[in-house]
Amino acid sequence: AQSVTQLGSHVSVSEGALVLLRCNYSSSVPPYLFWYVQYPNQGLQLLLKYTTGATLVKGINGFEAEFKKSETSFHLTKPSAHMSDAAEYFCAVSKLGGGKLIFGQGTELSVKP
């Protein structure tokens, strides 16, 4: 079985500060890992994904995440927050090869001026 835990339902940072959103997963098989962003009343947009290969993954809008198998983590970071980054972020896992997605609970990111 697979599961995802996002630590912190709400994270608040100042504009220009580091963004760190935490995600830990549980999977009995090699996982595919994803980060999605959702703006109010909209669908999900893929930020980045890890499938195989390089463990540091770069995504859109300056975000990146590192797959750490030993820690079963896939934390999302961005060096400098922008006001437009304020949104809901979801970490998700699927089995190797893709398919059904299991989502974490979501983390709401607020950015203060």
Partner 1 sequence: GAVVSQHPSRVICKSGTSVKIECRSLDFQATTMFWYRQFPKQSLMLMATSNEGSKATYEQGVEKDKFLINHASLTLSTLTVTSAHPEDSSFYICSASLYRNNEQFFGPGTRLTVL
Q: Which one, 36 or 67, has the nearer CB to partner 1?
A: 36
**Binding of residue 42 to partner 1 (CB under 8 A):** yes
- Mark residues 50-89: x for contact with partner 1 by CB under 8 A, - for none: ----------------------------------------
Please identify which residue in 46, 56, 60, 83 interacts with partner 1, judged by CB under 8 A.
46
Residue 112 forms beta bridges with which residues?
A: 14
Collect all residues with Cβ–Cβ distance below 8 Å to 42 and sequence separation of at least 6. none
Considering only CA atoms, which of 12, 15, 7 is closest in space to residue 109? 12
Mark the segment that binds partner 1 (CB under 8 A) among 17-25, 45-53, 65-73, 79-87.
45-53
Among 11, 23, 35, 104, binds partner 1 (CB under 8 A): 104
For partner 1, the binding residues in 12-41 under the rule CB under 8 A are: 36, 41
DSSP string, 66-95: EEEGGGTEEEEEESS--GGG-EEEEEEEEE
Give the span between the Cα atoms of 104 and 93, in whole angstroms: 9
Binding residue (CB under 8 A) for partner 1 from 17, 44, 64, 110: 44
AA letter at 98:
G
